[in-house]
Structures are given as C-alpha cells and as structure tokens.
Amino acid sequence: MLHDSVLSVVRQSEPCSVVISVPAESDVTQETRNLPGISVLVGPRGSAVQRNYALRSIRHRPECVLFLDDDVELDENYVREILACYRRHPSVAIVNGRNLAHGIYSAGTVDRSLSRRLIEDYRRNHPEVMTAEPGAVTPLSTNYGCRMSIRGSLLGKVNFDERYVLYAFLEDLDFALQCRPSGTIVESDNALGVHLEVASGRMDLKRRGYSEVINPMYLWSKKIGFPLRSAVLGSARRTARSAVAAVREGDGQRLAGNLIAWMDAARGEFRPEKILEIS
C-alpha cells in the first residue's frame, strides 16, 4: 500500500522530495527506498509525532510541505496544482487536495484500481480541468490530515500536538487552528486524488472510542478557537453511532471507550494520551 502511494508521488509532473516517517525499518520495502528522492525516518509511533519528526528533518525552506497518508492515489499534476494555489493566493496558509471518493464511498471499499479510475474518469468528464488556469481554490473551515499542505514559511512555527497519540484523532483540526492566524484554509479545485481509507493499522475500537470524545474536549480546553458546543455535539453524535453499532453488530468496544471518556470529561480530565492506559 505504501509503495503504491509513493509511486503516485514519484510520478508527479512537479518533482518533489519525499520523506517517509515510520515507526519501524520493516515498514518500508527496499523497492520503495530505491525510488528517486526518497528518505526514510524511523521514530516513535503515532501520527502526530511522526509528522513532527519529518518536519524537523527538513533543513531548507521549501515553497510548501505536503502531508499524505500511506493509502492515497494522486493525479500526476497534484503537486503542481497545490503549488499554484500558494503562488496565486498569497493569503493562503493551508491547501487541501481534493478527495474524489469523499462522501461517495465508505471507508475500506476503494481499492487502487478504482481510485485510478475515479481520477481518469474525472479528468475525462471535466475537460476544463486540463485547460483551467492552475490554482483555483474553494474556501474550507478545516483541513484533512490525509491530503493537507502548509506554506513553507510556516515551517518551524507550528507543530502537531503530540498529546494526540497513536491514530491522533483531530490532530489535523488542531493544526489548522494553529495556522489560522497566518492565513486562510482552502481546497484546491484541481489537485485530484483519492484517499483509500484502508482500515488496517488503526488503533482498536475501545481506544478509538475514547479518543472520539476526549480529544474534542481537550481541543476545546486549549482555547485556540474550537467551541465547546462543537466538542460536545460532535462527541454526542459519535457516541450515538457507537450505540447503534453496538446493538446491530454486537460489539460494544467503541461505545465502551466513548463512555469512559464521558466520565473523564465530567471530571474535567482531558488527557488524550490516556488511551495508552486503556486495554
């Protein structure tokens, strides 16, 4: 999965360097390491800490830094379009790529061949993408960790909060709120890609359930612009979905994690890292 995702970056029309941040040497095959422009970093496990580790390895000031999950497929002009957004819109701080599967396919149902077909079909059915001036954007209120980027001038000024451990639910929103004072957040209209949303490698349901409630409350407690109403209502909706799933599927682990987090939240205990103590 990772190798195919890296291939879609190596094939970009705009050359770029690729930093792969992983918790184990065995996570990256030799075939991937042999690709041009690839460097591999091995450090602690966890999305936020792995992203920070990669950011600290960048010694120059790039025009922008792109963050990609290990299960993406990109159009060959994806990076070119992202760069064009920053060049055309000086007030932009964060640019998200466009996920053609978002809201259409459920997680785990998109494979590599379908993702490539989605990109090809979109390009064929929207010829204006081929002729439009690069850099067209649509305003967004947040960013998405699987396909976000930041302007290079922010390098060293913002970091991911490493208290969001492991899968790090809401680390991307926290990061976006940190970047907001420096500029707007947008989605590139023509940076086309697909997030396959492969489920393997994510944390267990009980821990995920805990993060779904406690992480929003922690984000609110930081006082960086996330409303308490959003934290409570979002957590309540996720808990309701967990309850429905527990009845329908007979697995209450995610709901159990939700409920433990609600009890901690009622006591004013907002510690995302507590999931490391949950088994």
Number of domains forming the structure of the chain: 2
End residue of a domain, out of 195, 220, 239: 195
Contact present, 92 and 207 (Cβ < 8 Å):
no
Within this chain, do residues 152 and 240 fall inside the same structural domain, yes or no? Answer: no
Alpha carbon distances (Å) from 84 to 46, 91, 183: 31, 13, 16
- Chain segment 61-101, per-residue pLDDT in tens: 999 999 999 999 999 999 999 999 999 999 999 999 999 98
End residue of a domain, out of 195, 215, 231: 195
Residue 68 phi, psi (nearest 5): -135, 140
Q: Note down the domain range covering 257.
A: 205-277
Within this chain, do residues 171 and 209 fall inside the same structural domain, yes or no? Answer: no
Least confident span in 97-101, 124-128, 251-255 = 124-128
Q: Is residue 200 part of a domain?
A: no
Contact present, 190 and 88 (Cβ < 8 Å):
no
DSSP E strands in 119-183: the ranges are 137-139, 147-151
**Kind of pairing between the strands at 38-42 and 72-74:** unpaired
End residue of a domain, out of 159, 174, 195: 195
Within this chain, do residues 173 and 215 fall inside the same structural domain, yes or no? Answer: no
Within this chain, do residues 221 and 92 fall inside the same structural domain, yes or no? Answer: no
- Chain segment 208-243, per-residue pLDDT in tens: 999 999 999 999 999 999 999 999 999 999 999 999
Within this chain, do residues 209 and 263 fall inside the same structural domain, yes or no? Answer: yes
